Structure 1
Amino acid sequence: MRICFMYGILSFMKVRYTYRLRPSKTARRRLMREWGMCRYVWNRMVEESKRRHELNRDEGRLHDEEFGDKTAQRYLTILRNLTCDEHGDRWLREGSVVAQQQTVRDFSKARKKALLDRKNGIAPGKRAGLPRFKSKRDSTATLNYTTRGFSLYDDDGGTRLRLAGGIGIPVVWSRPLPGKPSSVRVSQDTDGHWYASFVVDKPAETPLPETGRAIGIDPGVSTLMTCATIDANSTIDETDAYDLPHPEYGKKAQRELARLQRRMAKERRPKRQKPSNRYLKNKRRAAEIQRRVQRQRQDTANKWARRIVRDHDNIAMEDFKPKFLAKTTMARKAADGAIASVKHALEWQALKHSRTLRLVNPSDTTKRCAHCGAIAKHRIPLKERTFRCDSCRMSRARDKNSALNMLCRAGFIPDGVDGVNPRWDAVPTGTRPANREIPRL
């Protein structure tokens, strides 16, 4: 089971619970038929959007916002009434109108975001692109239903999911739902497994007991996350008790994955030819390996984040940008460690359990001495793992020194603590704010 989330308000949160589905061959065939209709609707929306964009450009208009959600929904009605096959049957009306309406809403939302980014002058490489055509070969099935399009009913084998059109699917209930679902997303991943993701309103978690401890976290090189803590007695702890070692799940699976990819390269056929069964088999096995690595990373991040939040009231973490790491020599290792997933897991756990999480500006935290506050005059290469201060002659592990600087800049270290100078908190002029606190529920 996988859990995704959205922020909530007041004492309730909108939480997404994901369960594995076990559809029969008939149910899979009907689901793929529904997906084919939704994909057809999406592609026709893209085609109509491009046609109107070309028309507006010929007339001298700069934007074409009139093809919004309401206009797109009216165009869907026209498609359902006029789309016919060679026998004259209106086959698009045989599909679920709820799933097709949700497809149009997703299209309108993506198109609106792209036009807004273009209107605001965002660079082409950073702004969202206009919706594209979805091919049968490269796209995976995704069907969205509101309460009008699905229901849960009891059967001899347990509670099942019934979708619009009478599609009944057994659900692997790994744990019970905390409430009545308001919507469901039925999707298929790259290795052919089906999942149902329910959105429910869940009461907020009971706040954890106070511990009086604070922790500073710095993303490292040899260690994925390096931590330094301070307890209620103002005692600094620089041990490795809360450090997150680099699991290297991707590196361990790389050999087997590369062997399957070499086989796929040899068995690949031209684009218009049907792929061989051996190619599809190796493709599924490669997808299973990648899915396993992804789940291992997610499980490790969630367990570490829960441990950090359970044992500390205040958390200070470097406000790093994961995209920046993709341009450095740490790109492969950072991607293997899924640093962005670890950061998001920590933010979610702190929000969920009402802990204080402050994302600290990383400026000079590596070059600054946590003992005296002096900044090193020379550049510190990555291979140098020990920080030595030229002013006070203090020697400390480089990542531990940065983690203590996170605590100092976040304001979690009181005055009079041995070995740390908490009075410096200046950030160079022109940089972003020193702290960015994650709001509580």
Structure 2
Amino acid sequence: MLLRYTFRLYPTASQHVALARTFGCARTVFNDGLRMRREAHINGLPYVSDGDLSKRVITQAKKAPERAWLCEVSAVVLQQALADLNTAYRNFFASLSGKRKGPKMAAPRFRSRKDSRQAIRFTRNARFAVTTGGKLRLPKIGDVPVRWSRPLPSEPSSVTVIKDAAGRYFASFVVETAAAPLPQTTGEVGIDLGLTRFAVLSDGRKIGSPRFLRRAEKKLKKAQKALSRTTKGSNNRSKARVKVARAHARVADARRDFTHKLSTQIIRENQTVVMEDLCVRGLARTRLAKSVHDAGWAMFTGMLESKAKRYGRTLVRVDRWFPSSKLCSACGALAEAMPLDVRSWACLCGAVHDRDVNAAINILAAGRADSLNACGGL
């Protein structure tokens, strides 16, 4: 299976300039290709093929005086920029025809030097390498220092160099690894996600909601105010924008670290994990949008799914309309109504339930039933 490993880069001053030049050349090639295809569409001409586009946007453009500076960067980076454009068009056409599942894909858009994220990709053809001193050797850029937090399990097939809105540089490697199943265990758990508590497990454990964005709102508000008072185009505005971006980056990093640790712990302890198939996109359109995004449910469920696949665990999703909160886990009776302000309730059978723990128990039971039906049970 393919995995992605990301490490922090610390380029020197000259490498900052070389990376900026490479970002700009890749962006120019992407925009030139997109412009050429749009003009062909407007003028009623045939769709420009991938090979013809590469010849006109890269090979012929390098010979023109106004594009001669494209020769200063690796040709592989330019080819990968066009490959990204071709992939974007294929996804767009597949979405229009209905072959691609999920939300509709928009047509490719022009890239800007003011985009919050800049990226370039090197494949094996570019002959990038990790030196004996632990640096990342990139063609026409040099040996870039890397903060290695863990070793790479195998030889990477490609590396993407990313610059984020906070001005940080990262190297994202794609490596091929075999699945590493963990020892079998008898543990099973149902998970009920929420906003008051991030998650409640069927064994009674309650995991508090970190609310990273809410906790950082005071600093973010101060940084945003300082940004709004600066003059557009000034150096002070650029500095203030970076401060805002760094504050948001700290929030995102903390949320990612929390979800990684929690998802790993749950996968290691349990053979089967059951959770609701939440529509996070729909919930993000409600008045709870800010809290839903702050919780990071989509990130957490995505990590659970990928880690379950890698470590040989089973992840089951139950229907989002399953009445987990209103169903008595002791006798199976269904309550008529269950307002959100009711956190505990008593069933006619005498059982007293914590709303979230009861929901997690019901989710686990529903996951077991779905597994039996999938295996041919009644």
Which residue pairs with 2:69 in the alignment? 91
Question: Please, which runs of 5 or more residues in structure 1 have no aligned partner?
Answer: 1-7, 9-13, 230-238, 270-274, 413-424, 426-432
Q: Equivalent of 1:148, from 95, 101, 125?
A: 125
Q: Identity of aligned pairs, percent? A: 30
Q: Which residue of 1 aligns with 2:285?
A: 327
Alignment RMSD: 2.5
Partner residue in 2 for 1:280: 238
Runs of 5+ in structure 2 lacking a partner? none
Match in the other structure for 2:359: 402
The residue number in structure 2 matching 1:392 is: 349
* Aligned pair partner of 1:376 in 318, 332, 335: 335
- Indicate the SS of the match to 1:191: coil
- Within the candidate set 326, 348, 353, 1:367 is matched to 326
The farther-off stretch of 144-153 and 253-262 is: 144-153
Moved more, 135-144 or 293-302: 135-144
User: Shift in Å at residue 153 of structure 1?
Assistant: 5.0
Q: CA deviation at 1:168?
A: 2.4
Distance 2:151 2:183 in 1: 26
The match for 2:146 is: 171
Whole-angstrom distance in 2 between the partners of 1:220 and 1:104: 42
Q: Larger deviation: 278-287 or 97-106?
A: 278-287
Aligned to 1:336: 294
Q: CA separation in 1, counterparts of 2:192 and 2:272?
A: 15
**Greater share of helix:** 2
* CA spacing shift, 1:121–1:105, aligned 2, 3 Å: closer
2:116–2:165 Cα contact (<8 Å) kept: no
**Counterpart of 1:252?**
215
Kindly state the Cα deviation for residue 434 of structure 1 after the two structures are TM-superposed: 11
What's the offset of the Cα at 1:308?
Answer: 1.0
**Superposed CA offset, 1:61-92 (max 9, x none):** xxx6x33433432333444344323xxx7222
- Bigger relative contact order (CA 8 A; separation at least 6): 2
Provide the C-alpha distance between the structure 2 equivalents of 1:122 and 1:293, rounded to a whole number of angstroms: 33
Matches within 5 A, 1:98-177: 98-120=76-98, 126-152=103-129, 154=131, 158-177=133-152
Which consecutive segments of 4 or more residues in structure 1 shift more than 6 A?
A: 433-437
Q: Give the whole-Å Cα distance in 2 for the aligned partners of 1:146 and 1:395.
A: 60
Residue in structure 2 matched with residue 203 of structure 1 by the alignment: 178
- Structure 2 CA distance, aligned partners of 1:435 and 1:197? 41
**One-letter code aligned to 2:355:** R
2:15, 2:141 within 8 Å by CA — same for their partners in 1?
Answer: no
Q: Which residue of 1 aligns with 2:268?
A: 310
One-letter code aligned to 1:327? R
TM-superposed deviation, 1:174:
2.1
Cα deviations by residue, 1:363-415 (Å, 9 ceiling, x for unpaired): 2222222222222223x2211112443x5343201111111111111117xxx
Measured against aligned partners, the alpha-carbon deviations of 1:21-52 in whole angstroms (never above 9, x if no partner) come to 11111111011111111111111112112111
Q: Secondary structure at the match of 1:74?
A: helix
| Length-normalised TM-score, structure 2 | 0.91
Tell me the matched-pair count. Answer: 374
The equivalent of 1:294 in structure 2 is 252
How far residue 117 of structure 1 moved from its aligned partner, in angstroms, is 1.5
Aligned to 2:13: 25
